[in-house]
Amino acid sequence: MKILCVGRNYADHAKELNNAVPDAPVIFMKPDTAILKPGDDFYIPDFSQNIHYECEIVYRIRREGKNIQSPFAFSYLDGIGLGIDFTARDLQDEAKKKGLPWTLAKSFNYSAPISEFHPVQQYPNHKDIKFELYVNGELRQQGHTAQMLFDIESLLVFISRYFHLKTGDLIYTGTPAGVGQVHPGDHLQGFLEGEKMLDLHVR
């Protein structure tokens, strides 16, 4: 199982980090060791002083596919949920200054908390799904799939040109504006269409 992540897929998030808005999907990967299962706590690693939360809609792949064509894209999906792309922002900023990959900043152990999944059929319009992240009861992020620069259909077409997708692979679709640092004791709660999907404590 692999985790494919989309960077800068919301224009407002790209702008808040002073990044250019991309004209093609920005793709990076996390290993399966990045997964943090539902109910587990997140422990801030000792190699970073600035871990940021980034709440995202996550899709799960149903069957193998490569060079997927747009009319058949949704037949490759079986689940939708919420995830957090934890980012060591200090490591990422340093890597960007040097023109180096983001791997250490994005792909460390347990950097990808994930919720349980609902069937994709539960959401008939994938361009009209909203989600929110609360930190300690305060609304920090609000996202809507209509705001994505690249929707899930176009992402499947693009990604499958380069990567053979396999059953159980996950696609983290990008985060809206409002990202910020986490601290020990923080409580993160994520909602998909008003239903709580993520409930995570930071240690």
At 193, which CATH number?
Answer: 3.90.850.10
pLDDT tens, position by position, 108-123: 999 999 999 999 999 9
pLDDT tens, position by position, 5-15: 999 999 888 67
DSSP 172-188: E----S--EE--TT-EE
Alpha-carbon gap, residue 116 to 144, rounded angstroms: 20
Residue 87, exposed/middle/buried by CB under 10 A (0-12, 13-18, 19+)? buried
How many domains does the structure of the chain reveal?
A: 1
pLDDT tens, position by position, 20-43: 888 999 999 999 999 999 999 999
* pTM (two decimals): 0.96
To which residue do tokens 């999944």 refer? 117
For 85, the domain range is 3-201
Residue 139, exposed/middle/buried by CB under 10 A (0-12, 13-18, 19+)? exposed
